[in-house]
Structure 1
Amino acid sequence: MARKGCSFLAAIALAFLAVGGWFAWGWWGTSAVGEEDQTFIVPSGSSLTAIAGKLEDESIISDARGFLLRAKVFGGGEAIKAGEFMLPAGASPATILSTLQSGDVIRRMITIPEGMPSILVYEALMAEPLLTGDIAVPAEGSVLPQTYDFERGESRGAVLARMQQAMSETIAELWPKRSARTVAKTPNEAVTLASIVEKETGKKEERGMVAGLYSNRVRTGMMLQADPTIIYPITKGKPLGRRIRRSEIAAINDYNTYTMVGLPRGPITNPGRASIEAVLNPVDTDVLFMVADGTGGHAFAKTLDEHNANVEKWFAIRRERGEMD
């Protein structure tokens, strides 16, 4: 009798194991309904029950109740994460759950180029359809130009805060490393002068020289005479789209360095790290003048006579291009 009882219990155990194995195979081995790679969004605070229903509604799985049951039995106790996920075609329910529990959230990218003014940063963030919420135009010079990642549905305010935090951290890092040659007395002056350097040259290798030139002008009390400072009060940093007028060169305001000595009241764009470094560690040079050289760069000069000769060369280039009579 004892042997028959043991055999009976063993048979029951095997039956349970077989059923359990079949159940587990059904969970781990079968494919979901989705036939193509598909993104799936888990809203913040969603329950597993809600997500099972959402997966069925979006035709990623065929049976929300079955998914939920198997998830509770075989899925472990790890919570699902909020965010956007990529689910591969034909993924099993086990793979789907694992992805939502421990997979990588899809990160999107937005790039702020060096020298992008705050009005354009604002427009870029507001134009990104995957972000949410409103922001104000950030303070000029408060955003560090670089590439930032974000999640679908993230607030614009949160992304902007990271951009501004990156600038604050960069200044905090670079300011203590400034050389004795810098004319910036405060971090804000450093960003202000760097914004002019950023707008004045498109060549990375010139930044140190341009910073040295403007540092010399500040140091000796010369006007900076930087064209971008004329444009900024007119367009807030956007392209002017035409030549500067004589009346604009003569305009008196807090930015026009053709009618004032020293730095403008604040930055005229968002300078990159390299331009800030150039201002805090300018090239040791005697140059005081520069003019375009036709290559995207500048011809530098120590004296007005040398500068005038460089200007004539630039005018000759422009005449050849049909830009001047």
Structure 2
Amino acid sequence: MWRHVASNALTLFVVVLAFLGGLIAWGQRQYVAEGPAQTSVCVRVERGANMAQVSRQLEEQGAISNATIFRIGARYQEQSGGLRFGSYLVPAGASMPQVLDILTRGGASTCGTEINYRIGVVLAEMVVRELDPETARYVETIRFNPATDAVPDGYLEVAQAEDTRFRVTLAEGATSWQAVDALRRAEFLSGQIDSVPAEGTLAPDSYEVTRGADRAALVDEMEARQSRILADLWENRSDGLPIDTPEEALILASIVEKETGVAEERRQVASVFVNRLNQGMRLQTDPTVIYGITLGEGTLGRGLRRSELDARTPYNTYQIDGLPPTPIANPGRASIEAALNPDDTPYIYFVADGTGGHAFGVTLEEHNRNVARWREIERERAARGIETDPETGAAVGEEDAEAEPEAAE
């Protein structure tokens, strides 16, 4: 009898072990298998949340198939207490180990709300946007200009949320005064900026910041980044350039930046100015004259007057030889590279072609034909009631509205 009982107990024990082994094997397969999410999921980890809460949330959102298996796996990998506060994008089909890594790795949030303060050539705008997990694209929810608009309803609530991300984007061609003026209006930054940095010394780029970040520290980072870019590109400059110092390269690059918003023609534009300098010709470029009038404090917003073109100022390159005394904007890396490695062309002239780009010429006769075509475009637009942007040469309303002034004729 006892043998019979022992035999049955042993059989039951083996069955239980087999069942547990199968259960463990099944759990392991579930843990490492492709996740159930058909599209990306934005998962918010609240401050102080524990693994049990988050695992249930993940299961409800369809990011994982089983909350219990996820918790056991996290415990096995010793990550039960490793959750990081924030909002994180979990890609479609992510396995549980991948999800766990995303939620415990730390770093900036990868989805949710972002506030991007865009400092442009014409204006600065605060743009609030949300990442749509299904499309992985941002959807804009709020946009306003802090200098002229009232703060929209809902902005402060979003800006004060713990996991909102902040970014400051400085556009190519914006001046140092414009950058500082805009930064002083950013409510999510703190501290003072005592003076406007030298023109051209700020790197146009996108800077991720945190709420309460110091304004002066951000400006220091912009200057440091521009200094590194200039030093790097100066070491790899072409031979035979009519510039002797990195500072002169920055001046030439700023003129290239303001002359064209078309990336493909930066090196051609640079070649025109290099050719003029090499031949002892004056640069004769409108953006430098404009800078002499505005000193970078905003845009002129109209065409130049004859009296302004005739006035002798340090920035009027119709009246002075060589480069102006300082940069006229903050050039981006591409314009600095174009100034230091221009195309090898015979071009001496260029004029707007009506698209935001330019028509280039070698001889004065060729240039005059290009100018005549441009004047005809202007007359046709005027007859049709279409306004021409005085700075870009493009029809108002066309793309490239933030490109800068075209070359003087």
Counterpart Cα distance in 2 of 1:295 and 1:200: 13
Counterpart Cα distance in 2 of 1:249 and 1:112: 30
| 1:294 and 2:347 are equivalent in the alignment | no
Counterpart Cα distance in 2 of 1:245 and 1:166: 37
1:140 pairs, out of 195, 199, 216, with 199
**Secondary structure, in 3 states, of the residue corresponding to 2:184?**
helix
Counterpart Cα distance in 2 of 1:29 and 1:261: 70
Tell me which residue corresponds to 1:245. 305
Change in CA separation of 1:30 and 1:115 when aligned onto 2, cut-off 3 Å: same
2:183 alignment partner AA: L
Per-residue deviation, 1:86: 3.6
Tell me which residue corresponds to 1:275. 335
Per-residue deviation, 1:124: 2.1
1:159 pairs, out of 205, 218, 221, with 218
Tell me which residue corresponds to 2:395. none
2:350 alignment partner AA: M
1:121 pairs, out of 160, 179, 196, with 179
Structure in which a larger fraction of residues adopt strand: 2
Tell me which residue corresponds to 1:198. 257
1:109 pairs, out of 162, 167, 174, with 167
Per-residue deviation, 1:110: 0.7
TM-score by length of 2: 0.55
Contact 1:182 / 1:279 at 8 angstroms: preserved in 2?
Answer: no
Per-residue deviation, 1:156: 0.2
Deviations 1:264-309 (A, max 9, x none): 0010000000010011011111110001011111111111111011
Deviations 1:134-165 (A, max 9, x none): 11222100001010111111100111111110
Contact 1:287 / 1:300 at 8 angstroms: preserved in 2?
Answer: yes
2:330 alignment partner AA: N
Contact 1:181 / 1:284 at 8 angstroms: preserved in 2?
Answer: no
Tell me which residue corresponds to 1:96. none
Change in CA separation of 1:28 and 1:275 when aligned onto 2, cut-off 3 Å: closer
Counterpart Cα distance in 1 of 2:52 and 2:281: 77
Counterpart Cα distance in 1 of 2:361 and 2:106: 58
Change in CA separation of 1:87 and 1:207 when aligned onto 2, cut-off 3 Å: closer
1:311 pairs, out of 371, 394, 402, with 371
1:253 alignment partner AA: T
1:128 alignment partner AA: A
Tell me which residue corresponds to 2:289. 230
2:185 alignment partner AA: A
Deviations 1:217-247 (A, max 9, x none): 1111101001001110211232101121111
Instruction: Give unpaired runs (5+ residues) of structure 1.
Output: 1-26, 33-74, 89-100
Counterpart Cα distance in 2 of 1:128 and 1:145: 17
* Percent identity over paired residues: 50
**Secondary structure, in 3 states, of the residue corresponding to 1:127?**
coil
Greater mean alpha carbon deviation, residues 180-189 or residues 216-225: 180-189
Contact 1:181 / 1:282 at 8 angstroms: preserved in 2?
Answer: no
Aligned residues: 243
Counterpart Cα distance in 1 of 2:87 and 2:244: 54
1:256 pairs, out of 293, 316, 325, with 316
1:112 alignment partner AA: L
| Matching of residues 15-54 of structure 1 within 5 Å | none
Structure in which a larger fraction of residues adopt helix: 1
Counterpart Cα distance in 1 of 2:325 and 2:204: 21
Q: Which runs of 4+ in 1 moved over 4 A?
A: 27-32
Counterpart Cα distance in 2 of 1:230 and 1:174: 27
Counterpart Cα distance in 2 of 1:115 and 1:268: 8
Tell me which residue corresponds to 2:149. none
